[in-house]
A = this chain, B = another copy of it.
Amino acid sequence: MPLDANALRTAGIPAPWTFGMADRVRFAEIDSLNHVNNVVYLRWYETLRVNYMDHYGIYDVAGPDPKFVVKTVGLDYQAEVMRGAPYINVARTVAMRNTSFVMEYATFVDGKITTTGTAVVVILNADSSKRPLTGALRQILIERDGAVQA
């Protein structure tokens, strides 16, 4: 189950993070260097993003048959995470443009950030043309996360 702001504060994750998921590193996420493989974080943030959008009801207010696609991603690795470690991944939306929004992610282990990420998410129509964010979608991102118009 997702962690909300209160649950995150209890777990030692500071504001402004308001959405998170806790889990433990799986055997398959460790590579031959004996730490969480760098690609795994991008997979984690995908899982987190989909849960975030489900949980915030974003799919329901994005217009008919929206297709959410990642346009750019970036990851910054600051510390290794080891086998079996408990971690909390957090996400929030920081900015909105006409047809996209910008999310930030982080991984916390023992209250410290080990990796951060960012993604620009676009919404496409069935014909792959870009679709403007609906007002209802903007409202959710503003109220929940304080996302700003960029």
- Whether A54 sits at the interface, judged by CB under 8 Å, is yes
Tell whether, in the assembled complex, residue B39 and residue A83 are in contact, meaning their CB atoms are under 8 Å apart.
Answer: no
- A27–B46 touching, CB < 8 Å: yes
Number of copies: 4
Distance between Cα atoms of A37 and B69 in the complex (Å): 10
User: Quick one: given A39-B39, A67-B33, A84-B54, are A46 and B28 in contact (CB under 8 Å)?
Assistant: yes
Least CB distance from A3 to B in Å reads 14
Which chain B residues border A37 with CB–CB below 8 Å? 28, 46
Query: Looking at chain A's contact residues, is the secondary structure mostly helix, strand, loop, or mixed?
Result: mixed
Interface size on A, residues (CB 8 A): 31
Instruction: Tell me if A73 and B70 are in contact (CB < 8 A).
Output: no
Residue in B31, B43, B76, B84 whose CB lies within 8 Å of A39: B43
Closest residue on chain B to residue A21 by CB atoms = B24
Within the complex, the shortest CB–CB distance from A66 to chain B, in Å, comes to 11
User: Is A125 positioned at the interface, with any CB of B under 8 Å from its CB?
Assistant: no
Tell whether, in the assembled complex, residue B27 and residue A31 are in contact, meaning their CB atoms are under 8 Å apart. Answer: yes
Chain A interfacial positions (CB closer than 8 Å to B): 26-28, 30-34, 37-39, 42-43, 46-47, 50, 54, 67, 69-77, 80, 83-84, 128
Q: List 19 A-B contacts (CB under 8 A).
A: A26-B47, A26-B50, A28-B31, A28-B47, A30-B32, A31-B31, A32-B83, A33-B67, A33-B69, A38-B42, A38-B69, A39-B42, A39-B46, A42-B42, A54-B84, A70-B77, A71-B76, A72-B76, A72-B77
